[in-house]
Structures are given as C-alpha cells and as structure tokens.
A and B are shown apart, each in its own frame.
Chain A
Amino acid sequence: MSKQTIRSVQKRIASGKLRLRNLVAEHLSTIEKRNSDINAVTHIDYESAYERADNIEAKIKEGKAGPLAGAIIGIKEAICEAGKPATCASNILRNFKSVYNATVIDRMHNDDALFLARHNMDEFAMGSTNEYSVHGTVRNPHNIGYVTGGSSGGSAAAVAAQFVQASLGSDTGGSIRQPAAYCGVVGLKPSYGRVSRYGLIAYASSFDTIGPLTNTVEDAALILGSIAGHDKNDMTSVTNPVADYMYAVDNPNKNIRIGIPEEYFGEGLDAEIHQKIMSLIYQLEVDGATLVPIKLPHSEYAISTYYILATAEASSNLARYDGVRYGHRASIDQIKELESEDTALNKMYKLSRTQGFGMEVKRRIMLGTYVLSSGYYNAYYAKAQKVRRLIQQDFLQAFEQVDIIVSPTAPTTAFPIGSKLDEPVQMYLNDIYTISANLAGIGGINVPIGFHSNGLPMGLQFMASVFEEERLIASARLIERLQT
C-alpha cells in the first residue's frame, strides 16, 4: 500500500478499481502480520467491518457518500465508541465498554468513515513513550526496539504501519504531535475548543484536544473538517466558523511570515533535526516566505507549569474511578484481609485504586492532589495559572508579527524502549516543544521531514494562532511538497 489519500481511495472505489471490503481485508491482514510486534491495536471490529464497507461502497457508487467514505480509521482507546472497549489502557477500566459515542465518532460516522480498530496508548494519556499501558508497550514500526512516543503511540504506529488509513489521537501536552514525529506521520493538534471533547476520557480538561494522525496533510485536513465545530454537548467548544481546510491543502499560501523562536532551537536539540528544519525553512524563504526571529521568553517555565496544572486537573478527573459504579473493584476478600484502621469503604477505595492505576498515573494523581492542597494552592496552582497566562501572552505577541511559528516537534528522534523509564523528569523533557501550544490553547501540527542518520523519522512542528488551523495545514502542505 502506498501513501494514498482518502480522496484518492474514494475515487478508485467510485471508478470500480477498488473494493472497499478488499481494502479492509488488506488492512486486517497487515494488522495480523505485524501487530504482535508493534502492539498498536487493542481491539478490532471484525463483526461489522465488511458490512459497513459494503454500505459505504454502495453510497460512493450512488454518489451519495460523505467526505470520509473509503477511510479506514483507528481510534485511540481514550475516545468513546458505543459498545466498544474504552480502557484508556488502564487496569481500572480493563473491562469497561462505553455506552455512547464521542461527538467526533458521530461526526466521522455521519461522513462515512469506517472504524476498524482501537488503539493502544499511555494509560489515561499520561506518558511520552507508550510504555505505560495495561496492554503493554507499543513498538515503533520503523524499529521495534524503539518507542513510538506517546501518549497516542498506538494511533501513530498504526498509521505508520498501514494498519489503518488514519487515526484519531488526543493531545494534552504533545500526545499527538510527538508520537507522530517519532513514527513519521502527520499529527494535528487543533486549538482548544475547535473540536468537541465530548466522549474523550479526560486527562486534563483545559488542555485536552482530539486530532487526526494521518499519512498526508490532506487527510488530516479532511478529518479535521469533519470533526471541527461547535458541539452543544461541550460547553468549551467554540462557535467560530470552521474554515475550508481542503482549500488550504490545494492552495497553500507561500507568502507567509514564519517565526523562528530562539528558545526552541537551543541546547538539547539534535543537530541533524536542527539542520534539516533550517534547510526546509530556507527553501520556503526562497519560495516567498519571510523568516522572522522571535522570542517566546516564558518557554522555560512551560514544563513545570504544565505539570502543575495538568496533574491538578487529572487528580480531580480521575477521582471517578473509585470502584463504586464501574471499572475495577478490589475483591471483598482482599478488602477484608487488608490490615488497616480504615473503614471498609476507604479500604475499598484504596485497594481498588492501588490495583487499578499504573505507576505514572499514581505519580500524577499525587502531584496534582498536592498542588491543590490547602496551604499549597497559591504557591503552585495559582502561580502556575499566572505563568500560563504569560505564556499565552508570549504567543499573542508573536502572532502580531508572524503568521506561523516553526520549531522541532521533539528534541530527538525516538529512543530505545526502557531507556528513560527510571527518569520521569528526562521523560517529561520530550514534550518541551509541544507543551506550550497546549498551555496557550493554540494549534500545532507535526510534519514528517525524512529520516535521521539513525534510521528513525524526524518531525517539524508548526504552531498557528488560535483557530487558524488552515494556516497549519497550508504551511505543513508546503513542507510536504518540498519532500516529494
């Protein structure tokens, strides 16, 4: 399978050159061959896939198909699909199935997408390597000894390994863009509020966004067009009109002002990645772009700010997993045997949550609980909120001068599995270039820019002002074109 787009698949089906059920079969056979190595897929919808494929194919032939007809899609386990497992890669939801569809699922379904698989992830989207999962580590399709990045590692690997045409992931601090960079696919994180979060299992509510991971910028634009827009079920979704993203794909503006933030090209950045990005940007300059050096002075505080605010929200969001109504509950015998002065109820909470959550999730719940505690709130949470506003201000000021900001997506390429598990702070530094976009609520996109001498993919990130996703798409398209 080559890097065909959803549009081209649809054309081939319409002209009778391709049967959608055959495409489904092809994807299933690829999954069968390689998933045991890669571990990106946690659940496959065998039951209805072929029937759905035939229905969509009929619609295509009648000329009544939606824009996503022909697209075979995988969904991160954090996004709810009615009747399917929504484990969030956690033991606490190991046997949990959602009873309803996320808004993005309904919208893509209405546009005739076919949902084939569910994807592995870091537990509750907390992680940058996809090593923290009840389903096991996801391995990089380009070298299975290496991590995929995270937390949407399964979604990124599945696209890179051609398990699906495209997937949905979620991005709270870089969880779409960073694994997209490590796996060599396009990953688009929309502005906060652009896409409904209804049905996305919350990690950090004021940061969480849903976006596509795809082979091409065009597919990312097509899917964003389907899922973007106000949703009455999410009061934080905005009513701003949705731009014509496909127009941006087909007519990308070359005369753009590109901001180059000095803070994003300093110490710690891999030299080859640095060089590759600059050479591409200089080509854009030759084609008509203006390069503008800019400053984002509060960047150095982004990671600490994020880990205070995001974990605070997470500690509250994850309180509902208490063993009372659904999900894992410790057995009665275990509760009885626990030696403790606690009430039976508190023993049940403690044991169920101890058994249900993994190490990284526990670490973040504890951190978040601490920063919200009385006596510490002002020193941590309240202060971090102020810094968050300063970071937002940095971007607002920068976007007065430039249309788009360019940066690396991650400081390095993927690294060997297990190599950073003992160093959480080192692990957190992987998100150093992606996390600010979540703090500022703006959009960002990873575009693959070829391979490092180590054989692994490299990525470039664009960030645009809030709700200017069409700029992300157009700029990413320019980079994509330079490489083909």
Chain B
Amino acid sequence: MNTIDHEDFEAVIGLEVHAQLLTQSKAFAPVAAQYGQAPNTQISPLCLGYPGTLPLVNENLIRYIIKMGLATNCSIAPKSIFARKNYFYPDLPKGYQISQFETPICEGGHIDIEVEGYSKCIGITRIHMEEDAGKSIHDQDPYNTLVDLNRAGTPLIEIVSEPDLRTPQEAYAYLSKIKQIVQYLEVCDGNMEEGSLRCDANVSVRLRGSEKFGTRTELKNMNSFRNVEKAIDFEIYRQIELIEAGGEVVQQTRLWDTSKMETRIMRSKEEAHDYRYFPEPDLPPIIVTNDLLDEIKEELPELAHIRQQRFIEQYQLSLVDAITLTENRYLADFFEELVLKSDQVKASVNLVLSDVLRVLNEQSIAIHNFPLSVTRLAELLNLRASDKVSSTAQQTIFNAMLEQDSSAQELAETLNLLQVSDSNYMDGLVKQVIDANPDEAARYKEGKKQLMGFFVGQVMKASKGKANPKMANELVRKYLD
C-alpha cells in the first residue's frame, strides 16, 4: 500500500454503510428472511410485486433502527415517513425500493473512533431504513440472467457519516466501530465478506487548509474491511496525481477492482439515476412515542466503550487488554462468564487473551463456535489455582482439551501432570538431590543463593516434572539456609 507523501493534500471521506438487519421476517412482508435458502423460496405475492399487494411494516425494523440511532447518539424523529426510490432492475420487483428520504428516523449522531494512538469524534448525518433488492445472477447460465428474490424486501439500515474522515485508516476504524456497535446491539451480524455489512465511500481531496471540498467520487464494490482501506487509499492517490498533472477530478461512481487493486469508472454524473423519490403513499408515517423510546432504551445492552471503562475499573485491566476483550460483545461475555465461574480475574484474562484468541485465529472461528465451554475452562483454571498442576501443564491440558472431551482433572491424571505435594515424598527427594550435589550445596551455604534454581530444577528432573516447585523451593531453603 502507498503511504501519503503528497503532504500538501488532505482527503475528505464520508462512508455510507448498509447493514442487513437480523429480523426474522422481511421489512414489509410477513415472509421469512433466512439466508442460504433455495432460490425463490422465501417469497410471497408481495415480494414478487404482484398487482394489488401492499407493504406491511415489520415492527422490529423500527425497533432495530431506533437502537442503532440511540447507540450512535442520534436524535430519533417522533414522526418520519417512508419514501419510494424508483428505478428499473430485474431484481427489484416493484420497480421501487421502499426507503426514507427527506425525513430519516435518526439524525445528527456521532461516534468516537480510535486510530493509531489518537481518538476522534465522527459525525453521523443520518440513519434510515430501506428494503434490499433481490439478486441477479449472471454467471450460472450462459444465456440468461437468473433472478433470486429471496433477498428482495429484507431489511437494511443505511448509516451515513459526515465527511469527517481524513485517512483510509480512519475509515477503517470507523467501519470497525460501526461493526462493533451493530454486533453489540445484535441488529446485524456485521459480516462484510458475506454482504451483511456493505460500504460505499465518498472521497475527495483538497489542499490542506482549504475550507472548500473538492469534487468527490463515490466508491463501490469494496467487500472487506481491508478493501475499503485499500480502495480509498488508491482513490486518494489517483485524485492527487490527477490534480498534480493539471487535470480535474470528475464526479462519478467508481468500482473497486479487487484483482487489479484499482478503482475504475462505473458511471458518470450524467448517467446517475434520478430516483424520483416521493413519499410512500401505501404506508402511514412512523410515529415513535416516548413510551416506545423508553422501552427500547431499557433494552439497550452495555456498549463497548462503556464496558471497556468498567473492565478497567472492575478488573484492573490495562486499556489495551480492555479494548481487546470488549472489541467483540461475545468475547467480552465469554470472559466475564469465565471470571464468574473461576473467580480468577488475572488467569481468565491471560487464558482468553492468549490461548482462546490464538485458537480463534488459528481455526478462523467466532467466539460462539469456540469448542470449549466456559465451565470446562473454569475447571482448568481452578486446577491450576489450587496448585495441582504447573503453568506448563495447564498449557498442555488446554491443548489436550481441544482434542478430547475429558475434563481438565481427568486429563491431568491421564497425562500424568498432577503435581506431587506429598511432604514425605518431597522431603526425601530434596534430601536425595542435596546429597547428590555436595559441592553446590556448599557453595549455596556460602551465599551463592542463585543456586536455588539449580536445586529446584534437579528436583523437577528427578520427579519427571511432577514435583511441586514451590514446595521444593521451601524444602531446599529449610535444609541449606
């Protein structure tokens, strides 16, 4: 990736993020909205745009978007209306999308993002709801375009940021924050690769210090977080180079080409759709009462930044550890449950941050698919806390648990990892080691206390690793000090 060296310029970036909502049914039809079903099985006369059908608003659509609005500090309009966005496409059955235009339900919010050591407040212009189109499939039949309308009418929210972002890294951080919020609220699964989170970017550049915005381009087709960052980076460079070469940026929509790693023109301003928005006459205005608002506020979960702060105070975590643990709501839940069951904060932190995260990364799985239950892990931590196994043994048992269903205790036994704390046995072992190493014993007595490590090591070796090292330490001191 390039790094900006055209120091005279700065970029102005705004993001439009579409989040697919996790409602059971479609936005405006009582039809299941499940993904991955056989084509054209999640449909009804309404989804097909049959004559005479009318839309019905899914109540959860309203609740979900209000949650999102509250979580991003937006004001919630007591009355807003739906609008029709008109265009022709084979996977758009009614010839229009039901959306919101002049009066979105959420406006004027903001969120804080953290980027490489600084934090920044990014404005949210608006959040509105709309229905998704179906899918046109161009590559399965050599002669025809196929249309799958399962997705037609599934609910989306569009989150529009202010042009407050200045670098691709800020855009990445903003997008990550949005993902975190939708996941915390459980309104969207936040999976960009699968399309449940989609992002378009408006990008322009201007001379540093200039108040005026440059001409912007709109970037589409960036289907991962990294691609958003790369595409914006590419586009900033393209625009700067264009201007420096004496050219002018033209307002247009551009597609990110992942294979060529470049943006290319999709349509010019002249070819832009005139969507002919107008108020949707089939739906009454959306009225949000104070009662509904209070009810939804009650339902709001503790959001990441608040939880982060609580973790620092309640568990005395470092900021870095608190951020990592709260990045994902379910990881944070997992951690807190482990603390609750094991009653060990530090050990829980270490286990989750090192072992659990390592496994998640290695296996590319989400925390809810993590193979070990909190109960089993708590048992492992307790085994270690009661000194029955060494820290090395804990690691070995953890790895073994991933392979088999036995409990930590059982594995410690079968793998012969239980520490021996029997005092007669230990006493004999220590004496035996001292007797076998008279020179070292003499030097220790003369003051070479560093030899403690040597004695404990010998004891461990003689016991084949099973001896309790703490006990060995105490016994050596008893005989030689």
Flag if A322 contacts B88 (CB, 8 Å): yes
Flag if B147 contacts A205 (CB, 8 Å): no
Bound CA span A205–B276, Å: 16
The interface residues of chain A lying within 8 Å CB-to-CB of B457 are: none
CB closest residue in chain A, given B84? A316
Bound CA span A377–B101, Å: 13
Categorize the interface residue count of chain A: 35 or more
The interface residues of chain A lying within 8 Å CB-to-CB of B95 are: 316, 318-320, 322
Flag if A201 contacts B283 (CB, 8 Å): no
Cβ contacts B90-105/A at 8 Å (1 or 0 each): 1001111000000000
- Chain A: minimal CB distance from B314 (Å): 47
Categorize the interface residue count of chain B: 20 to 34
- Chain B: minimal CB distance from A380 (Å): 11
- Chain A: minimal CB distance from B140 (Å): 17
Q: Is B49 an interface residue (CB 8 A)?
A: yes
Contact of A205 among B48, B88, B277, B282 (CB under 8 A): B282
**What are 9 A-B contacts defined by CB distance under 8 Å?**
A88-B51, A232-B56, A233-B56, A235-B284, A318-B95, A320-B49, A320-B93, A320-B95, A326-B48
Contact of A234 among B54, B94, B147 (CB under 8 A): B54
With contacts A322-B95, A373-B274, A373-B276 taken as known, whether A98 is within 8 angstroms of B52 at the C-beta atoms is yes
The interface residues of chain B lying within 8 Å CB-to-CB of A198 are: 52-54
Flag if A320 contacts B282 (CB, 8 Å): no
Q: Is B243 an interface residue (CB 8 A)?
A: no
CB closest residue in chain A, given B89? A345
- Ordered nearest first, which 7 A-B pairs have the shortest CB separation? A319-B95, A205-B281, A206-B281, A372-B276, A320-B49, A201-B51, A199-B52
Chain A stretch 213-240: residues in CB contact (< 8 A) with chain B: 232-236
Flag if B55 contacts A86 (CB, 8 Å): no
Q: Is A273 an interface residue (CB 8 A)?
A: no
The residue in A88, A100, A200 that gathers the most chain B C-beta atoms within 10 A of its C-beta is A100
Flag if A381 contacts B278 (CB, 8 Å): yes
CB closest residue in chain A, given B48? A325
The interface residues of chain A lying within 8 Å CB-to-CB of B284 are: 235-236
The residue in B45, B50, B55, B94 that gathers the most chain A C-beta atoms within 10 A of its C-beta is B50
The interface residues of chain B lying within 8 Å CB-to-CB of A318 are: 95
Chain A stretch 91-149: residues in CB contact (< 8 A) with chain B: 93, 96, 98-100, 102
Bound CA span A234–B57, Å: 10
The interface residues of chain B lying within 8 Å CB-to-CB of A456 are: none
Cβ contacts B230-256/A at 8 Å (1 or 0 each): 000000000000000000000000000
- Chain B: minimal CB distance from A412 (Å): 32
Flag if A316 contacts B278 (CB, 8 Å): yes
- Chain A: minimal CB distance from B85 (Å): 10
Contact of B52 among A86, A313, A315 (CB under 8 A): A86
CB closest residue in chain B, given A344? B145
- Chain A: minimal CB distance from B270 (Å): 13
Q: A202-B51, A236-B283 are in contact. List 6 more A-B contacts (CB 8 A).
A: A198-B52, A199-B53, A233-B54, A234-B54, A235-B284, A313-B278
Flag if B57 contacts A319 (CB, 8 Å): no
CB closest residue in chain B, given A88? B51
Q: Is A369 an interface residue (CB 8 A)?
A: yes
Q: Is A186 an interface residue (CB 8 A)?
A: no
Contact of B90 among A324, A326, A369, A377 (CB under 8 A): A324
The interface residues of chain A lying within 8 Å CB-to-CB of B54 are: 197-198, 233-236
The interface residues of chain A lying within 8 Å CB-to-CB of B283 are: 235-236
The interface residues of chain A lying within 8 Å CB-to-CB of B90 are: 322, 324, 345
CB closest residue in chain A, given B44? A100
Q: Is A80 an interface residue (CB 8 A)?
A: yes
Q: Is B167 an interface residue (CB 8 A)?
A: no
CB closest residue in chain B, given A199? B52
Q: Is B86 an interface residue (CB 8 A)?
A: yes
Flag if A324 contacts B147 (CB, 8 Å): yes
- Chain B: minimal CB distance from A106 (Å): 13
Bound CA span A319–B93, Å: 9
Bound CA span A88–B51, Å: 10
Flag if B51 contacts A325 (CB, 8 Å): no
The interface residues of chain B lying within 8 Å CB-to-CB of A206 are: 281
The interface residues of chain B lying within 8 Å CB-to-CB of A372 are: 86, 276-278
Cβ contacts B45-80/A at 8 Å (1 or 0 each): 100111111111100000000000000000000000
Q: Is A296 an interface residue (CB 8 A)?
A: no
The interface residues of chain B lying within 8 Å CB-to-CB of A319 are: 86, 88, 94-96
Bound CA span A200–B86, Å: 21
| Interface, chain A (partner B; CB < 8 A) | 79-80, 86, 88, 93, 96, 98-100, 102, 197-202, 204-206, 232-236, 312-313, 315-316, 318-320, 322, 324-326, 345, 349, 369, 372-374, 377, 381
Contact of B282 among A232, A235, A374 (CB under 8 A): A235
With contacts A88-B51, A235-B54, A324-B147 taken as known, whether A100 is within 8 angstroms of B45 at the C-beta atoms is yes
With contacts A80-B52, A88-B51 taken as known, whether A325 is within 8 angstroms of B86 at the C-beta atoms is no
The interface residues of chain A lying within 8 Å CB-to-CB of B49 are: 320, 325
The interface residues of chain A lying within 8 Å CB-to-CB of B94 are: 319-320
- Chain A: minimal CB distance from B325 (Å): 44
Bound CA span A21–B429, Å: 110
CB closest residue in chain A, given B284? A235
The interface residues of chain A lying within 8 Å CB-to-CB of B281 are: 204-206, 236, 313
The interface residues of chain B lying within 8 Å CB-to-CB of A197 are: 54
Bound CA span A60–B298, Å: 56
- Chain B: minimal CB distance from A301 (Å): 19
CB closest residue in chain B, given A327? B51
- Chain A: minimal CB distance from B305 (Å): 38
- Chain B: minimal CB distance from A468 (Å): 21
The interface residues of chain B lying within 8 Å CB-to-CB of A313 are: 278, 281
The interface residues of chain A lying within 8 Å CB-to-CB of B147 are: 324
CB closest residue in chain B, given A102? B52
- Chain A: minimal CB distance from B273 (Å): 10
Bound CA span A322–B152, Å: 16
The interface residues of chain A lying within 8 Å CB-to-CB of B88 are: 319, 322, 349
The interface residues of chain B lying within 8 Å CB-to-CB of A320 are: 49, 51, 93-95
The interface residues of chain A lying within 8 Å CB-to-CB of B276 are: 315-316, 369, 372-374, 377
The interface residues of chain B lying within 8 Å CB-to-CB of A345 are: 90, 145
- Chain A: minimal CB distance from B46 (Å): 9
- Chain A: minimal CB distance from B62 (Å): 13
- Chain B: minimal CB distance from A368 (Å): 9
Flag if B55 contacts A235 (CB, 8 Å): yes
Bound CA span A313–B279, Å: 9
Chain B stretch 1-51: residues in CB contact (< 8 A) with chain A: 45, 48-51
CB closest residue in chain B, given A369? B276
CB closest residue in chain A, given B149? A325
- Chain A: minimal CB distance from B283 (Å): 6
Contact of A98 among B51, B55, B145 (CB under 8 A): B51
- Chain A: minimal CB distance from B49 (Å): 4
Bound CA span A415–B396, Å: 97
The residue in A79, A235, A373 that gathers the most chain B C-beta atoms within 10 A of its C-beta is A235
Bound CA span A369–B48, Å: 23
Bound CA span A202–B52, Å: 6
The interface residues of chain B lying within 8 Å CB-to-CB of A235 are: 54-57, 282-284
